[in-house]
Structures are given as C-alpha cells and as structure tokens.
Amino acid sequence: MRTSEFLLSLLFVGAIVVLGWSKLSRGFGPKKPLEPVARPFMTQREQAMLAALERVLPMYRLHAQVAMGALLKVPLVPGRRPTPADWNRFQRKIVDFVVEDPTTGSLVALIEIDDRSHEPGKDRERDAMIRSDA
C-alpha cells in the first residue's frame, strides 16, 4: 500500500469515527423539543419599580412586560406585502412598563429599567423604534 492510499484510508476512518462519536454524544432518534419551564415574571427591581409606580401614578393603568408587537405594527405600503423580517425586528422585544390613560386608552409613557438584564445596544435600537412611532 502506498503512503497516499494509507493516508487517505486513515482520513476516511478518522471521519467515520468523528461522525460516530458525534452521533453517540447527541443520541439516536428524533429530538423532541424541550418543554418550557416557568421563570420569574419580573425581576426584584421590576417588582419594586411597579410598586413605586402604582403609588405615584394611581390615576393611570400600568401594564408590565408588554411585547412591542402589542404596541407597534408594520405599516401598510401599497404594492408591498409585509414579511416576517418586517415584524421580527420588534415583535418579541419587551417594554418593562406601559402607562395608559384608562379614560382614553392612550399611552402616556413607556418605562424601561436599566439593570443587568438589559443590553445597551438592543435598548438603543428598541428606543429608536419607539421614538419613531411617537
């Protein structure tokens, strides 16, 4: 057997071993999606902020953890159908608190808490979307 044939055979066997090891480490059969588990609805800071807001703003209705998809929509543009990419930009982003006038239903304020659960870059992007709609 020539050296090149030996190296090629060795490479082939190595690839089979790597693929087999990969399959063994992941298990056999189809993967079932993981079942979701409960997590805290709000951080302790958010709970404290909600209590403070309820004390100082009793005349307003407060909503916590509101999806931006409930606040914004993709504009209708003649000749163009909205795509998932249009609404994916904001649909799953969350606003910590929404202050609503209960008599008119209009939004008074959107309140965000800056804590370690927030990422400054993503927060700036979210804030720009909200300001553009104001």
**Element at 107 (helix H, strand E):** strand 107-111
More confident position, 75 or 19: 75
77 backbone dihedrals φ, ψ, rounded to 5°: -120, 125
pLDDT tens sequence across 110-121: 999 886 666 666
Calculate the alpha carbon distances from 37 to 40, 41, 47 in Å: 10, 12, 21
40-49, 56-65, 73-82, 88-97: range with highest mean pLDDT: 56-65
Q: Is the pLDDT of residue 22 over 70?
A: no
Interval 1-10 mean pLDDT: 71
25 pLDDT band, cuts 50/70/90, is low
Specify the pTM: 0.62
Instruction: Write down the pLDDT at residue 23.
Output: 66
